[in-house]
Structure 1
Amino acid sequence: MSNANNPKGQNRPQQPTQQPTQQPAKPPVPVENDAANTTPRVERRATLAILGAGPIGVEAALVASRLKIDFMWFEKGQVGDHLNRWGHLSTHAPMKTIVTEIGLEEIRKNGMGEFLVNLEDTGTGKGWRDGYLSLLLETPLLAGKLEVGVEAIAAGRDNRLREDPRGPRDPLGPFRLYLRGPNNQEQHVLADAVIDCTGVLGTPRPLGKSGLPAPGENACRDRIAYHVEDILGADRKKYADKTVMVVGAGISAATAISNLAEMAKGHEATWVVWLTRRPSSLPVRRISQDPLKGRDSIAAAANHIACRAEGNIEFHAGAWVDRLENQGNDKPVKVVATIGNKEVSWEVDRIFSLCGYQPSRLLNRELRMPWESSLDLPATGIESKEQELNPGPATEEPGWYVLGAKSYGRASGFDVGTGARQIRQAMAEILRVKPQ
């Protein structure tokens, strides 16, 4: 310390710096809004919310509108999105068998009959969407009703948790839906009843052992198709003169195999490896007296290819995919599988993982939603003893309906005629009237 300002040249002791006294933390004071000057936020509420705009969702909205039921309607993509994924493929049935009379009536009476798909022909997914579903959205009953780009993320009972006690006569209140829309906008809405028609094609099953993703599967997703792409058309370049693996034994796998075999006739460098889990030389199970002749023809053709090893295709039954190895861009994917007790590997350019589809349980996780364990059958919510309409367990959430393909869980036997009957039953219960 300098003595320049100390005339006696003596050092003065330095005074300790005094710290400011710390005040004890105070809890925040709640601010009460002046009820006279504040308008409470009102959440949207309707008698019914419909989730999904595939064939069953559109028909449900049409019936609700005709019955003058107040409803909201949400679709995370566009109308008929899943039909667009297989728009190039056949419906395997004449169009007149997969549309409804009330739908045709609305289209015709509003002057759009000339744009209808040919009802006598076997149609395609694209024709079904463009020549029927999209037309219905232009009719006065449905115009402006659908909110696209809005996904239902979760649902619960308003002001209740799933674990809260419930008495048999306790009023349950409406359902609360958590929605996410364009630009990640979030909102809650309330509905007295909900019809879930979100389907299963958005949750394909992975290709690894035990129904789990194979190690490396996620790293190779840009090389994997979980739906049948347009092999003979728009996607030909992906597969022509390439080594392609197909995993699965359903009608989707049979369709991919048949189309790849056809393409290989003109592209002889194409090579296909077909893996199925069941140890059967006839991999695709055929339906006895299948009413859809086109579907049965594809199954028979694929089984013939498996037995005869035709069309540049090698077939391996009793195979499980162990792992995938991403070897880098522009390099093939290494697939390692077990066949019997033997490990086998291939290097492939593209993979079709066609192992089936399953319903997502995420939407219902805060509801008391029972599921049948083996086939993932949800409670449909409808009061019917017909197993065709109500294949799953009894509901514990009155007013929540699961209709369409999702109601059949992992099973693939659902048809549109069943869905139309499910809709009539659900609407009757919503209106508390007897089905017509």
Structure 2
Amino acid sequence: MNQVVVIGAGPQGLAAAAHLLERGIDLLVLEAGSGPAAAVAEWAHVRLFSKWSEVMDSASKRLLSTTEWAEPGEGYPTGGEWISQYLAPLASALGDRVRYGSRVVGVSKKGRDRSVDAGREEQPFVIHVVNTDGSEARIEAKSVIDASGTWGTPSPAGSGGLPAIGENAAAVAGVLGYQIPSTDDVQALAGKHVVVVGNGASAKTAIVQLARVVEQDPATQVTWVLRRGVVGNTFGGGEADELPERGALGVLAEKAVSDGHVALVTGFRTDSVSLNGAQAVLTADDGRSLELADQVIVLTGFRPDLSILSEVRLDVDLRLQAPSRVATEVDPNIHSCGSIRATGAADLAHPDAGLYIVGAKSYGRAPTFLALTGFEQVRSVAAELAGDHEAAERVDLVLPDTGVCGGAGLFDAPEETTGGGCCAVTPVGIDLTPALSN
């Protein structure tokens, strides 16, 4: 069995397929959704802060050049444009190598659970799949590239890593959600009190959107909740950020606060979410409570779902849930994007040889992943699987700096402390045009 199975037909999964195909390696991409980049489709209205040239992979472009594809020009695509102008054509070029409606529910070694040593290295991987129609299948592979991402497992509002008391009930009631609102959703919040929890690019995007609603309807109230007791580099590196739109996003978020359109609450670690009819009250672990909110938007990042890999042997950092050698490079307590080294096959390998976790999932809980990072990872992994060790070891990427110090600063630092910040998960950004045009 010489087939390589790629889990996920998102940006990194499709790029991995293009590199494998270019290397002459037999491959199959398994995607749970009904089409390519199903997760991206859920935030199709959001504009990336990375421009077109930074969200297209080299091997993918070479494959697309053999079709009638027209390469996009300059500019910053929305998630929807990323799909329609690049990811969907790429999936089409890969043809029946991409299989939709195929959810991977487990990966193991054939006939061996994780505790069995005997003959383990000689056995192929077995990928357990549940199809849309409910049927099940097992697919064998010599190697597995897990590019399933983290979109399906957002981090909760609860400050201890677990959902706050009442958080799940509030989500079921529709008072609390975990996605950047669409233009229509944002406009529907006019005149209401909205609480945004989080401090990454997703949260800043929502803050900037909502600040514009406040300008249109001053009766709108927006509260921005930060867990840390320090503002510090909350707003990013500004003009020093080597991704200009990311820097501009922070500038706009800061202006929303300074103009009084958004109330900033720091050191608020949500302990409970109490429903009061169609509204909710957030209470912190120090007893403070916010005013009744009509909508709570939780944008606190994502975490990897490692459950499908429970029967294979992983070398994973206990804190970040990222491959151990990657974790040392992306730990947000130490690094910002610009201080992170690009990672390749050697960093992504696990004790079960031939298994790789790539893309956002490879960063675990670290919020510093960029699309460029994933493209470099899959280039290196494909080279390694092809036996081109020299190319696999080569680093073809220098990551853009955030314009802030490395690290995230002290968790309970006083207000005047200026610890570093961390950059945000890509793809997430904001349309910087004056109107809400996404």
TM-score by length of 2: 0.79
CA displacement at 1:252 relative to structure 2: 1.0
2:133 aligned partner = 183
1:423 aligned partner = 378
Q: The residue matched to 1:93 in structure 2 has which SS?
A: coil
What is the CA deviation profile of residues 77-132 of structure 1, one whole-angstrom value per residue up to 9, with x for unaligned ones?
1311222222222221220222133323333332222xx43x21122211111100
Identity of aligned residues (%): 27
List gaps (5 residues or longer) in structure 1: 1-44
CA displacement at 1:136 relative to structure 2: 1.4
1:321 aligned partner = 270
The residue type equivalent to 1:156 in the other structure is S
Residue range with higher mean Cα deviation, 244-253 or 393-402: 393-402
The residue type equivalent to 1:293 in the other structure is P
2:81 aligned partner = 127
The structure with more strand, counted as a fraction of residues: 1
- Structure 2: how far apart are the matches of 1:345 and 1:263? 21
CA displacement at 1:159 relative to structure 2: 0.8
Q: Highest relative contact order (Cα 8 Å, sep 6+), 1 or 2?
A: 2
* 8 Å CA contact retained: 2:145, 2:357: yes
Residue among 85, 92, 95 paired with 1:143: 95
* 8 Å CA contact retained: 1:377, 1:392: no
Q: The residue matched to 1:96 in structure 2 has which SS?
A: helix
Residue among 224, 244, 249 paired with 1:293: 244
What is the CA deviation profile of residues 347-375 of structure 1, one whole-angstrom value per residue up to 9, with x for unaligned ones?
11111111111111101111111211222
Structure-to-structure mapping, 1:10-409, within 5 angstroms: 47-77=3-33, 78-113=35-70, 116-117=71-72, 119-139=73-93, 142-165=94-117, 171-221=121-171, 222-230=174-182, 233-282=183-232, 284=234, 286-287=236-237, 289-306=240-257, 308=258, 310-311=260-261, 313-328=262-277, 331-338=278-285, 341-378=286-323, 387-390=341-344, 395-409=350-364
* 8 Å CA contact retained: 1:283, 1:303: no
* 8 Å CA contact retained: 1:85, 1:229: no
CA displacement at 1:393 relative to structure 2: 7.6
The residue type equivalent to 1:146 in the other structure is V
List gaps (5 residues or longer) in structure 2: 330-339, 392-438
1:35 aligned partner = none
Q: The residue matched to 2:269 in structure 1 has which SS?
A: strand
The residue type equivalent to 1:86 in the other structure is W
- Structure 1: how far apart are the matches of 2:275 and 2:52? 43
1:434 aligned partner = 389
Asked if 1:411 is matched to 2:366, the reply is yes
The residue type equivalent to 2:137 in the other structure is Q
What is the CA deviation profile of residues 142-166 of structure 1, one whole-angstrom value per residue up to 9, with x for unaligned ones?
1122111211111111111211235
CA displacement at 1:379 relative to structure 2: 5.4
CA displacement at 1:264 relative to structure 2: 1.2
The residue type equivalent to 2:323 in the other structure is P
- Structure 2: how far apart are the matches of 1:121 and 1:71? 33
Q: The residue matched to 2:291 in structure 1 has which SS?
A: strand
* 8 Å CA contact retained: 2:10, 2:37: yes
What is the CA deviation profile of residues 203-257 of structure 1, one whole-angstrom value per residue up to 9, with x for unaligned ones?
1001113111011111111222212121xx2323432221111011111111111
The residue type equivalent to 2:22 in the other structure is R
- Structure 2: how far apart are the matches of 1:379 and 1:316? 34
The residue type equivalent to 1:321 in the other structure is T
Tell me: CA distance 1:57–1:182, structure 2 relative to 1, closer, same or farther (3 Å): same
The residue type equivalent to 1:138 in the other structure is S
The residue type equivalent to 1:144 in the other structure is D
* 8 Å CA contact retained: 2:197, 2:203: yes
- Structure 1: how far apart are the matches of 2:80 and 2:349? 36
After superposition, the CA RMSD in angstroms is 2.4
Tell me: CA distance 1:392–1:224, structure 2 relative to 1, closer, same or farther (3 Å): farther
Higher gyration radius (CA) = 1
1:11 aligned partner = none
CA displacement at 1:326 relative to structure 2: 2.6
CA displacement at 1:387 relative to structure 2: 4.7
The structure with more helix, counted as a fraction of residues: 2
* 8 Å CA contact retained: 2:121, 2:353: no
CA displacement at 1:281 relative to structure 2: 3.1
* 8 Å CA contact retained: 1:309, 1:315: no
Tell me: CA distance 1:247–1:309, structure 2 relative to 1, closer, same or farther (3 Å): farther
Q: Number of matched residues?
A: 374
